[in-house]
Amino acid sequence: MKRSTFPTPQDAETAFYEALERGDLEAMMEVWAEDEEIVCVHPTGPRLNGYEQVRESWSQIFGSRQRLRVHLSNQVYVQAMMLAIHSLHENILVAGEPKPRPPMVTTNVYVRTGNGWRMLVHHASPAPAAPAAGAAESPKILH
């Protein structure tokens, strides 16, 4: 049983990024739903399904001991009674690196449970490079 209660999806998201910055595996897993249907996709990584795969991936990431600072931007929230979807950019600065890394385009999905809001999906991908000044804009393609 989860100890923490997150009254809003934003509270769960705040706890997620605080755990990420601290490299705290237990706090990270407190945010996730206790469900074998959870999904996590780290940048350029495979899709991980289920609690054990997600936990192991965060354990490996935190085992690197890299200290991260994360600034969120371009946040868009969609929320219903039982589900919330957050689309945002993660702007990550790694301790010891001179400049921030390119942003990650991220989607976080939260579900309302009997014990507050929990994460169901975290998917982060590198943002496309900004076009060079004066470059012709490519056509927009929807899929």
The structural domain count of the chain equals 1
87 assigned to some structural domain: yes
114 is in which domain, residue-wise?
9-126
Per the domain annotation, does 138 fall within a domain? no
Q: How far apart are CA 136 and CA 23, in angstroms?
A: 42
Does a structural domain hold residue 99?
Answer: yes
- Is the CB of residue 69 less than 8 Å from the CB of residue 93? yes
- Domain assignment present for 70: yes
Tens digit of pLDDT at every position of the chain (143 positions):
567 899 999 999 999 999 999 999 999 999 999 988 999 999 999 999 999 999 999 999 999 888 889 999 999 999 999 999 999 999 999 888 888 888 999 999 999 999 899 999 999 999 987 665 655 555 666 65
Q: What's the CATH code of the domain at 54?
A: 3.10.450.50
Q: Sign of the CA dihedral 71, 21, 105, 121?
A: negative
Asked if residue 143 is part of any domain, the answer here is no
Q: Is residue 2 part of a domain?
A: no
